[in-house]
Structures are given as C-alpha cells and as structure tokens.
A and B are shown apart, each in its own frame.
Chain A
Amino acid sequence: MPAEHYLNVKYGLKSWLLTKDHKRIAMLYLISVTVMFALGGLFAGLVRLELITPGGDFLSADAYNKAFSAHGIIMVFFFLIPAVPAIFGNFLIPIQIGAKDLAFPRINLLSWYLYIIGALLGISAILAGGVDTGWTFYPPYSSQYSQSHVLLAGLGAFIAGFSSILTGLNFVVTIHKMRAPGMTWFRLPLFVWAHYATSLIMLLGTPVVAITIVLLVVERLFGVGIFDPSIGGDPVLFQHLFWFYSHPAVYIMILPAMGVQSELVATFSRRRVFGYSFVAFSSLAIAIIGFVVWGHHMFVSGQSMYAGLVFSILTMLVAIPSAVKTFNWALTMYKGSISYETPMIYAIGFLGLFVIGGLTGLFLGAMGLDIHLHDTYFVVAHFHYIMVGGTVMGFMGGLHYYWPKMSGRMYPDGWGRLSAMIIFVGFNLTFFPQFIAGYLGMPRRYYMYDPDFHIWNIMSTAGATVLAIGYMMPLFYMAWSWKWGRPAGPNPWGAKGLEWTTQSPPTTFNFDETPIWNEEAYDYDPEEAEAEYEREFGTIN
C-alpha cells in the first residue's frame, strides 16, 4: 500500500464530516446509500413475505401498504437516484478527466448533507408511523385522504432533490471546465458522457418534482384546491407534473449504470468500446427524448386519446438509443481478449437483463397493450428489470471494478463471481414470474390477491430469498478485504484511463502534477493483451 493516500491523511470523525475531498465524500455516500439500500431491501422482504400466500396473514393491510410505500420511496429517492453518480461519479469523474477535485467541493459536501437530511426525514416518516401513498404520491389520496405521514416523506424527497440538483450542477461545470490538457470531449471515458447526460436531467427535471411536492403540501396543509376536484383541482395535472420528472428520473437511475457498463465491457474485452461516438450521443439522445415521453404512464388516466398517441410514438423513439448502446456493447467483445473477473460477470448480467427490461418497455409503450398491462405486476417486473437488472447490476459491477481503486485492496474474486451469479439467478427467479402474473391480470399494490396468481408469487418470493443472499455476500468479503485484501496497485485490471495511472488509493489531490493526456479513450489492443498473457501463462489451446 502507498504510504500516503486520501484515506490516511487525516483521522477522526471531523476529518470526514467536514471533508471537501470528492473521494471522501464518495465514501460517505457509499456508506449512507448502502444503509438505505439495506433498509429498502428489508421492506421489499416484508412485501414478498406477505405475498407468499394469497390471503392477508403476515402483515395487516395498513402495514403492507406502508411497507411497499417505504420500499419504493427509499429505493427510488435514496438509493437508485444517488447510487452510481454520487458514489462512483463523485469519486471518478475528477480523476478520469485529470482534475484535483470537483468544481465546487463545498457544494459537493453540502449535497451529501442535503441527502442525509432528506434520508433522515424519510426514515422519521417511517418511524413516526409510516406513509401509505406509494412512492407516486397520487392525489387526492395523498393530499386529502391519507392519514399517514405524507408531509414528512414528501419533505424528505424534496430536500434530497436539491442534493441531486447540486450534484448535477457540480458535474456539468467540472466536465466543462476542468478537463486536463489533451482530454478533449471525444477522449472522455463514456462513463463521463453518461454522467454528463444524467446531470442535465438532474438540473432540468428535479426542480419540477420539487414544485410538484410543494403544491401537494399546499393542498394537504391549507386545503387549496390544486389536485382535488372536490375543491376545484385536477388530479390528472399532478400526474403530468409528477411523470414529467419521474420518467426522466428513470434515466437518472439507468444512464450512470450504462456508463459503468461501457467501462467494464471495454476493460475486460481489451477493446475500445465499439461505436464510441454513437454510445456517447445516445446518452444525450436518451436525456433529451426522455423529457417528452412522460404521458406513457397515463394511457388510462383519462388523458386524451391523441395525447396518448403522441406519447406512445415518442416512447418508441426513446427505445432506439438504448438499442444502439446494447448492440455496441455486445460488439465490443468481438475479437476481444476477454477475461471474466467479477465486474465482467456483472457486465454480462447487465447486458442480458437490460435487453429484457428494455424490450418489455415496448409492451408498455404500446397503448393498445398497456391498457391491459397498466398497474399490473407486468409493470413491476419491467421496471425491476431496468432498475435492479440494470442499475443495481451496474452499481455492483462498478463497486467491484472500482473497489481496488477506492480501498487500495483486492477482494477475493471467487467469492465475487459466486455472488454475482447468485444475484443473477435470484433476480430472474424473483422478477420473471411477475411478468406472467401481470399478464394474467394481477394488479400491483395488492395486499391480498386471487389464488389464480399464487404459484407465480411463490416463485417470486423464493427468488427474493436467493437475491438477498447474493446481496449480503459482498458486505462480508468487501469488509474483509478492507483490512486483509491484497494491495491492488495502481492498475489491477490492466485498464486504460487516467484513473488507472494514479496510485490506489489516490492521494488527496489525485495527481502530483496536472496530467497531460495524449491518447484516445480505451486505447486497447487485444492482440497485445494476448501476447502479454502468453508471455506470462502460455497459451491454453
């Protein structure tokens, strides 16, 4: 291990809580986001346990409604949105572009505090008795009828929103202004491009959801009719405002994971990402088109039929850039020199699950079919394929890829691969049956359900158990590696990119002097990689 690095320059709680180092802030996020993930997972566990049987036997209806709401709110606002950008984006963007830190280190720390305040408000809403509106907060239920702690939870999401606005701002300015000499736009790692696109959505979209929450609070507290028709409001208006943010928000959640995916596929195939500029621009295309498709959540909401048509065709268009990325990733492996360390197992898993998640999105964007599928378990299955199969796989892949950089040590790769495979199997067992239950007609957010749907729910709960085991394993071996892992050295994966030229863990200012970058991104040569391998191990066949 290097003698001095960002982790050991200073000790003590204060040195962490007042740090301006983007890497330390990333570690703060890593801990807090992991705690929220565990908490969200706990509520998912309660939900799945209740659904083993069709009747209501384990929880009360009220507790069930609060459990699925807590699961959704925690996972969306406090895990999926910050997970990849706030941890890995924070840690890596400055290093990847050759900067000492983000443009606004203090604002970066402020973002974390806002996130923590938001999360604490969310947790206090749960401790105070819970929220039962679902993460979507649809009025008039949320504004006039629910007896639960809507205000606290709403306030939590509102404040966490500012955390993400500020993070987005920080990234945009950093990427524009702080690239090292020679690090031109088209030499940036695709991870940076993905975060750039994400940051634009955070900046432009999040204020809208903040306003929406404020309007909801005003109606609930003061009885001003905004969404409730009995006092002169319009409930469909809320849905427009909500999805105007919340559809782009799914891209806030998935784009950074796509960025990770590009890094992993390139590194472990020893190939430049195929169609680099297409992959880069598809991130921007997704960010832009993603803003005009929100009405696909509302085909049966009472919105006009013609609005539905427009939103549907735009939704079909937003599928294209995702398809482009997928094909390019797959083709990156062609003529590669491919190895299968843990991060690559995650990358392969991501690719497969994302294909299913993306294509089932077409089922839902197709109005004639969405009428049947809307608000059923088919939707639940679809977005878990994207959010868990995509984002969480990307998150786990990123964690296993960058952990040696962040901690300076290697985790046991065998355990890593095993847990990745357990997660893959558990994931499919959990969520694939939900497609079928959904097509059969099982509505979501059902505490009790018709026995027709029973077998699919049993499979799903069994799968969730396997999934939970898979997720818990890294906790142990990562913790173990923190102390006993083999020192990683600057570049344990033989990867290209500025982040692999610094020591692991890096020093506080990342580089001793401002680096100059003269290479294209992913300047790999698979033949050379093979030659090197042969020198070291001889050829297998």
Chain B
Amino acid sequence: MWDFPFLPNQASTFAAEVDAFYFALVGVTAFFTIAIYAMIWWFSVRYRRGKKADRSNAPTSNHLLEAVWIIIPLGISLAIFGWSAKIFFEIKTPPQDAMQVHAIGKQWMWKFVNEDGKYEVNELHVPVGRAVEIKMISQDVLHDLYFPAFRTKQDVLPGRYTTLWFEATTPGTYHMFCAEYCGLLHSGMIGKVHVLTQDDYDAWLADAGGSATASSGGGSGNALVDGAKLFEEKVCHTCHKSEATAIAPTLVGVYGTDVQLQDGTTVTVDDAYIRESIKNPGAKIVAGYQPAMPTYEGQITEEQIVQLIAYIKSLK
C-alpha cells in the first residue's frame, strides 16, 4: 500500500518510446504550467491593488504577441502529432512473420487459442523476442484487450476481427485488463500475460497438461482437434472434400491464397473471409460454384469459428 509506483513495467519493443514520448509531454506540460503560474504569481504580487507600480500605458492588445502564441503552440502541437503518428503506425502495423494467436472476449473472460491450437483462459503465454499478433473478436458486447506493460490495447468488437500486436522484451508476468466497460464483472475480466524465454516457452508448449485443461466443456483441449470434429458435426465435410468437387471447392491449402470470385474480383483467404463464408456465405461466391452453402449464422459461436479456422489453416 505504501509504494508510489509511477510507471508500469516496460516489457515491449514500443514501451520505451511511448514512455519517452510521455515524458516529453510531461515536460511540455510542466513548462507551460509553471510559466503561466509564474506569470500570474508575478503579476499578482507586483500589481496588487494599492501597491505602487508602473501601470502607465497598459497595452490591451498586441498582434505580434498573439501571432507568437499562436505559432509556437501550433509548432509544438504539430511536432507532438508527428512523433505520435510514428509511434501509432508502429503499434498498429504487425510484422508479417508474427506468431498468430486468437482471442475471444466474452462476458467476463478472455479465451486464447495459439498457433498450435492450445487453449488458455485469462492467461497468455508468449515467448520473449518474438512478434505476437492477436486476432480478437467478441462473443457479446464490446471489450478491450489491454496490456499496460506493452503499452498497447485494442477494442474487441462483436462481429468483426480486430488485431493487436507486440513483441515482448523482458520475461516476466504482467497485467492483462479489459479496458472497455462490458457490464457487471468488467473489472473481473482480467488476467496475466506470461513472457517466457524461448526454452521455457517450448517446455510450456510441450507440456500437454498445464493450461490446456482450460478448454471448454467436452473439448479435447486442442483447437485443431476440436475444429476437425466440428467440421464433421456441422457437415462441412459432406461438401468440402480433400479435392475440389462439382459441389464445392476444397479447403485444403486455400488459407493464404487468392481466390477468384464470381463477380471477377479476387479475395485472399484469411480469418475474416473464412468467418464471413461461414456466417454469410452468400456475400462472396467462389467462381464456378453455386451459392449452395447454408448459412451458419446463429448456430455457431465465435469460439467454434476460431476452431474451424485453426483446422482449415492446418489443412495442407
């Protein structure tokens, strides 16, 4: 209770620059605040009523001065804008080779699925020194995934994927918060992110137990396995075979490729496209096929879609 912490841990590649920027702004604020206070103080003492002072020819306007205090703040604020834009682009642009993680927010928990299909709830293990991109979606209301130690956050919306990325620099355990109000237990929608050295991370991955037990009821503990099972349960496999048929295209090897659509445009098969194909198959029709695929809108959770995506991605 009696510590006075001022800064969160610095644990990502952008943390140090965000902090430097912050301190620069604190400096600007302190400078102007002190300058204005000093000015008022000085005037207050010097020109107190009843105190002798030169009050002759008191000026009531001065265009040069006005220009000065328009141009100087303008310059400062544009400099602030420039620096902040640079940081913004960095934080908003994940590198190509980032490790992919899925996150599903729902009242009031975070569920993660990593590249190998491993589940975690309210906890996330990541290796140090490797870019991690999190694709997020909400099952219900707005949420926001926030890692103060990484200086980044992003709203998590229902109905569409948003992404957040970071590269952790220091092993350790840090806060994970929900930063967008989401109802009763908003403040309980928290967790920990564990940054591990590569060795520890590999060991954690290999450990079949661990947080894998955190899978949803009846699941296998692995999203790839659950996705394969769903692919049959939801009868996707009756149309989508390992080779293209007259009925439907194959899904083997499509992830990441460009697909020709009926209307002549092309689209890259990514998470958002697969999700749309499942929820609203009529929106984009693959060239050469009938719009025969049924919609799964209302019959499938975001988590199941993530499992299917993980499975389809693994089909090589």
B73 surroundings in chain A (CB, below 8 A): 319-320, 323
CA distance in complex: A339, B51 (Å): 11
Name the residue on B nearest A538 (C-beta): B50
Among A273, A278, A328: residue with most chain B CB under 10 A: A278
Contact status of A302 and B155, CB under 8 A, knowing A368-B87, A526-B55 = yes
Instruction: Please give, as numbers and ranges, the residues of chain A lying within 8 Å of B92 by CB-CB distance.
Output: 305
Q: Contact at A230–B151, with CB atoms within 8 Å?
A: no
- Asked if A367 is an interface residue, CB under 8 A from chain B, the answer is yes
- Quote the shortest CB–CB distance from B191 to chain A (angstroms): 12
Binds A, one of B62-70, B281-289, B307-315: B62-70
Contacts of B49 in A (CB 8 A): 270, 337-339, 529-530, 533
User: Known: A229-B159, A333-B47, A541-B51. Is A368-B21 also a contact (CB below 8 A)?
Assistant: yes
The reply on A342 being an interface residue by CB < 8 A is no
Does B37 lie within 8 Å of A352, measured CB to CB? yes
Q: How far is the CB of A60 from chain B (nearest CB, A)?
A: 9
Closest-CB distance, A231 to chain B (whole angstroms)? 10
B153–A372 contact, CB under 8 A?
yes
Residues of chain B contacted by A335 (CB below 8 angstroms): 47, 53-56, 58-59
Q: Which of A301, A339, A362, A454 contacts B155 (CB 8 A)?
A: A301
Q: Which residues of B contact A326 (CB under 8 A)?
A: 36
- Please indicate which of the listed interface residues A228, A320, A327, A445 has the most CB atoms of chain B within 10 Å of its own CB: A327
A277-B61, A449-B187 given; A359·B181 CB < 8 A: no
CB contacts under 8 Å to B, within A141-185, are 141, 144-146
Chain A residues whose CB sits within 8 angstroms of the CB of B7 once the complex forms: 439-440
Q: Which of B51, B56, B144, B159 contacts A300 (CB 8 A)?
A: B144
Among A35-43, A198-206, A306-314, the one that faces the other chain is A306-314
- For the complex, give the distance between the alpha carbons of A511 and B215 in Å: 79
| In the complex, B269 has a CB within 8 A of chain A | no
**A327 to B: closest C-beta gap in Å:** 5
What separation, in Å, do the CA atoms of A441 and B8 have in the docked complex? Answer: 7
Chain B residues whose C-beta falls within 8 Å of the C-beta of A65 in the assembled complex: 183-184, 186
Q: Is A426 an interface residue (CB 8 A)?
A: no
Judge whether A356 is part of the interface by a CB distance below 8 angstroms.
yes
Q: Is the CB of A235 within 8 A of B6?
A: no
Name which residue of chain A comes closest to B86, CB basis: A368
Contact A363 B25 (CB under 8 A): yes
Shortest distance from the beta carbon of B52 to any chain A beta carbon, whole Å? 6
Q: Are A443 and B179 also in contact (CB < 8 A) when A61-B184, A276-B60, A324-B70 are? A: yes
Assembled-state Cα–Cα distance A287/B187 (Å)? 36
Known: A455-B1, A530-B50. A439 touches B22 (CB 8 A): yes
Contacts of B62 in A (CB 8 A): 274-275
Question: Does B229 touch A at the CB level, under 8 Å?
Answer: no
State whether A323 touches B155 (Cβ < 8 A). Answer: no
> Interface centre among B81, B144, B178, by most A CB within 10 Å?
B81
Complexed CA–CA distance, A141 and B158 (Å): 11
- Taken together as a complex, chains A and B put the C-alpha atoms of A333 and B141 apart, in Å, by 52
Does B168 reach chain A (CB closer than 8 Å)? no
Interface residue stretch chosen among A91-99, A132-140, A472-480, A483-491: A132-140
User: Do A146 and B183 touch across chains, with their CB atoms under 8 A apart?
Assistant: yes
Asked if residues A533 and B66 are in contact (CB atoms below 8 Å), the reply is no
Q: Which residues of B contact A58 (CB under 8 A)?
A: none
Q: Are B87 and A140 in contact (CB under 8 A)?
A: no
Q: How far is the CA of A409 from the CA of B5 in the complex (A)?
A: 50
* Identity of the chain A residue whose Cβ is nearest the Cβ of B185 in the assembled complex: A61
Query: Chain A contact residues: over half helix, strand or loop, or mixed?
Result: helix
**Within the complex, what minimum Cβ distance (angstroms) separates B245 from chain A?**
32
Q: Which residues of A contact B32 (CB under 8 A)?
A: 355, 359
Q: Which of A141, A299, A534 sits near B183, CB closer than 8 Å?
A: A141
- Asked if residues A366 and B81 are in contact (CB atoms below 8 Å), the reply is yes
In the assembly, what is the distance between CA of A144 and CA of B141, in Å? 9
Q: Are B187 and A271 in contact (CB under 8 A)?
A: no
Return chain A residues, CB-CB under 8 Å to B33: 352, 355-356, 359
- Chain A residues with CB under 8 Å of B155's CB are 300-302
Q: Do residues A275 and B66 form an inter-chain contact, with CB atoms below 8 A?
A: yes
Partner of A230, one of B29, B159, B181: B159
| Chain A min CB distance to B63 (Å) | 9
Query: Is the Cβ of A235 less than 8 Å from the Cβ of B55?
Result: no
Q: Which residue of A lies closest to B45 (CB)?
A: A338
In the complex the two chains form, what is the Cα distance from A138 to B55 in whole Å?
A: 55
**From A61, A443, A533, residue with most partner B Cβ within 10 Å:** A443
Please tell me if B110 contacts chain A, counting CB pairs below 8 Å: no
Bound-state CA distance A513–B33 (Å) is 47
Q: Is the CB of B47 within 8 A of A334?
A: yes
B-side contacts of A526, CB under 8 Å: 47, 55, 58
Q: Are B48 and A134 in contact (CB under 8 A)?
A: no
- Asked if B236 is at the interface (CB within 8 A of a chain A CB), the reply is no
The interface residues of chain B lying within 8 Å CB-to-CB of A234 are 159
Which residues on the B side are within 8 Å of A454 (C-beta)?
Answer: 1
Knowing A138-B142, A141-B142, A374-B153, the reply to whether A441 touches B18 (Cβ < 8 A) is no
State whether A369 touches B146 (Cβ < 8 A). no
User: Given the complex of chains A and B, what is the CA–CA distance between A419 and B6 in angstroms?
Assistant: 31
Of the candidates A274, A302, A352, A367, the one whose C-beta lies within 8 Å of that of B162 is A302
A300 contacts B154, C-beta separation under 8 Å: yes
Contact B80 A362 (CB under 8 A): yes
Output the nearest chain A residue to B28 by Cβ-Cβ distance.
A359
Report the minimal beta-carbon distance from A293 to chain B, rounded to whole angstroms.
13
Q: Which residues of chain A come closer than 8 Å to B154, judged between CB atoms?
A: 300, 302, 371
List, in ascending order, chain A residues with CB within 8 A of B89's CB: 305
B contact residues around A309 at 8 Å (CB): 85, 88
Taken residue by residue from 217 to 244, chain A's Cβ proximity to chain B (1 for < 8 Å, 0 otherwise) reads as 0000000000011100011100000000
Contact status A447-B5, CB under 8 Å: no
* Contact of A362 with B25 at beta-carbon distance under 8 Å, contacts A65-B184, A324-B69, A367-B85 already known: yes
Kindly list chain A residues whose C-beta atoms are within 8 Å of the C-beta of B48. Answer: 338-340
Q: Closest CB-CB distance, B91 to chain A, in whole Å?
A: 6
Give the shortest distance, in Å, between B217 (CB) and chain A (any CB): 23
* Residues of A with C-beta under 8 A to B6: 436, 439-440
Q: Which residue of A lies closest to B3 (CB)?
A: A455
Residues of A within 8 A of B234 (CB): none
Q: Is the CB of B55 within 8 A of A274?
A: no
Report A's interface with B, CB cutoff 8 A. 61-62, 65, 132-134, 136, 138, 140-141, 144-146, 228-230, 234-236, 269-278, 299-302, 305, 308-309, 312-313, 316-317, 319-320, 323-324, 326-328, 330-331, 333-340, 348, 351-352, 355-356, 359-360, 362-363, 366-372, 374-376, 436, 439-441, 443-452, 454-455, 458, 526-527, 529-530, 533-534, 537, 539-541
Q: List 26 A-B contacts (CB under 8 A).
A: A61-B184, A132-B184, A235-B157, A236-B157, A269-B47, A299-B88, A302-B154, A308-B88, A309-B85, A324-B66, A330-B43, A331-B39, A335-B59, A336-B47, A336-B58, A339-B49, A340-B44, A348-B44, A363-B22, A369-B84, A371-B154, A372-B151, A441-B146, A443-B187, A455-B4, A527-B56
Which residues does B use to contact A, with CB under 8 Å? 1-8, 18, 21-22, 25, 28-29, 32-33, 36-37, 39-40, 43-44, 47-56, 58-62, 65-66, 69-70, 73-74, 77-78, 80-81, 83-92, 107, 140-142, 144, 146, 148-149, 151-155, 157-160, 162, 175, 177-188, 190
Top 6 closest A-B pairs, CB basis?
A229-B159, A441-B148, A368-B87, A366-B84, A335-B58, A333-B43
A-B contact sample (16 more), CB < 8 A, given A141-B183, A362-B25: A61-B184, A134-B181, A146-B183, A319-B73, A320-B73, A333-B39, A335-B53, A336-B43, A338-B47, A355-B32, A359-B32, A368-B83, A368-B85, A369-B22, A443-B177, A446-B186
